[in-house]
Amino acid sequence: MINATAPGKIILFGEHAVVYARPAIAVPVFHVRAQATIEPRADARVVIVARDLAREYALDDAPADDPLAAIIRATCARLNVAPQNFCIAIHSTIPLASGLGSGAAVSVAIVRALAKFFGVTLSEVEVSALAYETEKLHHGTPSGIDNTVIAFEQPVYFVRGQPIETFRVARPFTLAIADTGVAAPTKIAVGDVRRAWEADRARCESLFDQIGALARDARAALERGAVDALGDLMNANQVLLRAIGVSSPEIETLVGAALRAGARGAKLSGAGRGGNVIALADAVTQDEVERALLDAGARRVIVTRVA
């Protein structure tokens, strides 16, 4: 039996603008993970068991656009092996459609498990590239940030079309990640932003420029340990995401609750229209912020330390 896992992720800065070649920052979230388990079979079939979806089916019966089948086929092609004689089971503690990178994490876990099963070593770059191809099925025009931060398992400064940059934070900080309970339809939100950009490019480009500038300032702050500066940057980013049209009443309710409870900053994370809100807390405020988010309607709150 072969096991492989991959963490979730959260975007700190740069949502949507990253699709238009502005920088974004994302960090892994190790409190939640996707796992792929492979066992050999006596017959030649490949059987996929998606435990969280209560599905079991053969690879040969899966359509071309099935994400699990697609990543298995693509990975086997890269490994130059025939997909046969195994069962692969997938389980994840990462909430679906919530901006925590569930799809990319499952893909990365599958790639890692298959590489181990067939005795082939793949670099993080190769793992990320394979996962990116499947991200297209999930999101249409993905930025590439999800598969990158999850494959590398490090904070990532990402600019589409440029070399990947991982970096270290000089001083740990605490995030409360609150699930609105509303599924975040990434493909729809990305498509709506694209249509807004096509309708008024000057306005959207200006918003993207401002979001990109906040991401650059945030990286500088993280690298010098200026955690206190992050709160204002997060609040400014939320204003711009609201202007782009990807916030929602549920997001705004949680943002307001976190700030009133003492969070230094709060914003949506991911595609928006639902999904997660992230709030910057500390040892003094984290319990109060978590309680306030739950009282305001968050389905769940993950408190994680970024180091």
The answer to whether 121 and 102 have CB atoms below 8 angstroms apart is no
Coil, strand or helix: which one is 297? coil
Residues involved in catalysis: 146
Chain position carrying tokens 């999800």: 146
Please count the other Cβ atoms lying within 10 Å of the Cβ belonging to residue 48. Answer: 21
What is the per-residue DSSP string for 140-160? SS--SHHHHHHHHTS-EEE-T
Query: How many Cβ atoms sit within 10 Å of the Cβ of residue 64?
Result: 8
**Alpha-carbon distance 155 to 28, whole Å?**
7
Say how many C-beta atoms besides its own lie within 10 A of residue 1's C-beta: 9
Run of H or E including 303: strand 300-306
| Residues 160, 21: Cα–Cα separation, whole Å | 5
